[in-house]
Amino acid sequence: MDKLSRRNVLMAGGALAATGALSFAAPAQAWTWSAKGSVAGTGAGTDPRWVWDEQADPLVASLLDRGDVPRVNELLRTWTKNGQPLPAGLPADLRDFMEQARQLPSWVDRGKLATAYDFNEKRGLYLGVLYGLASGMMSTAIPKEARAVYYSKGGADMKDRISKTAKLGYDIGTRNAFDPDGEMIVTCVKTRLVHAAVRHLLPQSPGWEAVADEQIPISQAAMMVTWHSLPTTVMQKLVAWRVPIPAAESAAFLHSWQVGGHMLGIKDEYIPATWDAANSQAKQVLDPVLAPTPEGIALADILLGLGSVVDGGVLSKPILGSFTRFLLGDRIADWLRIPREPIWDPLLKTAWGPFIAFREGLLPFPGAPQAYWLFDEFLRKSMLLFLSEARPISIEIPQANRPS
């Protein structure tokens, strides 16, 4: 599937540099976000660009060096439910770490998690599309993430990678996400191990080059950037679309992602306590870093091409591209080299608002607007594309980078 070569990527980079587009990359800013706005309510204030995962990182580096990873992956394939005992035979240091990493934080609120499920159930259709096309496509315009994904093992098979990432988006929305019979804790702990492996492996990749403010990938700051591309971006869109969301559901959705962030190894002092705190942190960490990279352009192209596999037409690349442009705006769409669509672009601009209003019962139209069924079909197909990919799938610790 992947017809990209490093040469293509480098050529795209040359073209970008020539147009000056790469100079959009913002200079690193000082960390001024106060931990008072975090779920911890307090913190040392350490710049999260220089904090990684001090428990998982040395452990996974050691597993890789000791050659234990194939055996560990095989054993962990059988560990799928939150409440399930860890498989016998894991190395003792890994077992100790996982026993501790699977514990929910003391501040978890079961009531809020139950409300979050109601929200996910009611809003699943929108969430599927937003996770896929707002968060997913935005990740290709986050330079550090795009480069990490492109040069890691998963970058060579984006369909497989999407299914694994979609699993997290699916798991967090299930009724029993964090309960013993759910899977979200398992998914998070495994992902935490994967990220630790990436921190060890990527610096050895011939393609991935350390930059001044990133010698090791996936810092706590990078984690928060990606976190904001998920719940913060999704909630901002739902609010902008005027989808009615009761305050308790909005807070509950945030809570489920706060717990998710904690379980992925993000420190409580960086996880925003409220949407206001989240929006202010996103302004500081996410907005200024968005920029095009050759790797991101290449990944965006692959992602938009995945739709045709599912439906062979309705969700073809132009529609997904147009929707991405609609969600992320012209600046990002142009960075990602998404072509303008003369029919879809204006249609989405004019008809999406009334469509949502009609769908939400806010606009008492005698008949559905013309675009209604088209849009509804689009939502359903997109959902299918991005969330039905979450079939039983095993998140495994990589042992190598993308073959160069």
Q: Which residues bind ligand HEM (CB under 6 A)?
A: 144-145, 148-149, 152-154, 161, 164-165, 168, 191, 194-195, 198, 217-218, 222-223, 226-227, 264, 395, 398
Min CB(403)–ligand HEM separation in Å: 11
Q: State the SS3 of the chain.
A: CCCCCHHHHHHHHHHHHHHCHHHHCCCCCCCCCCHHHECCCCCCCCCHHHCCCCCHHHHHHHHHHHCCHHHHHHHHCCCCCCCCCCCCCCCHHHHHHHHHHCCCCCCCCHHHHHHHHHHHHHHHHHHHHHHHHHHHHHHCCCHHHHHHHHHEHHHHCHHHHHHHHHHHHHHCCCCCCCCCCCCHHHHHHHHHHHHHHHHHHHHHCCCCCCECCECCCCCHHHHHHHHHHHHHHHHHHHHHCCCCCCHHHHHHHHHHHHHHHHHCCCCHHHCECCHHHHHHHHHHHCHHHCCCCHHHHHHHHHHHHCHHHHHCCCCCHHHHHHHHHHHHHHHHHHHCCCCCCCCHHHHHHHHHHHHHHHHCCCCCCCCCCCCHHHHHHHHHHHHHHHHCCCCCCCCCCCCCECCC
Q: Tokens 């996910």 — which residue?
A: 120
Give the span between the Cα atoms of 27 and 379, in whole angstroms.
Answer: 37
**CB-nearer residue toward ligand HEM: 186 or 356:** 186
Q: Which residue sits closest to ligand HEM, CB atoms considered?
A: 154
Which residue type sits at 64? L
Min CB(350)–ligand HEM separation in Å: 34
**CB-nearer residue toward ligand HEM: 286 or 304:** 286
Min CB(246)–ligand HEM separation in Å: 25
Q: Tokens 């309510």 — which residue?
A: 41
Min CB(164)–ligand HEM separation in Å: 3
**CB-nearer residue toward ligand HEM: 279 or 316:** 279
**CB-nearer residue toward ligand HEM: 319 or 385:** 385
Q: Are 355 and 372 in contact (CB under 8 A)?
A: yes
Min CB(60)–ligand HEM separation in Å: 12
**CB-nearer residue toward ligand HEM: 153 or 200:** 153
Q: Are 224 and 85 in contact (CB under 8 A)?
A: no
**CB-nearer residue toward ligand HEM: 157 or 376:** 157
**CB-nearer residue toward ligand HEM: 178 or 378:** 178
**CB-nearer residue toward ligand HEM: 6 or 380:** 6
**CB-nearer residue toward ligand HEM: 145 or 249:** 145
Cα distances (Å, whole numbers) of residue 352 to 92, 95, 121, 370: 54, 50, 22, 11
**CB-nearer residue toward ligand HEM: 359 or 402:** 402
Min CB(224)–ligand HEM separation in Å: 8
Min CB(52)–ligand HEM separation in Å: 11
Min CB(3)–ligand HEM separation in Å: 19
Min CB(149)–ligand HEM separation in Å: 5
Min CB(154)–ligand HEM separation in Å: 3
Q: Tokens 């106060």 — which residue?
A: 34
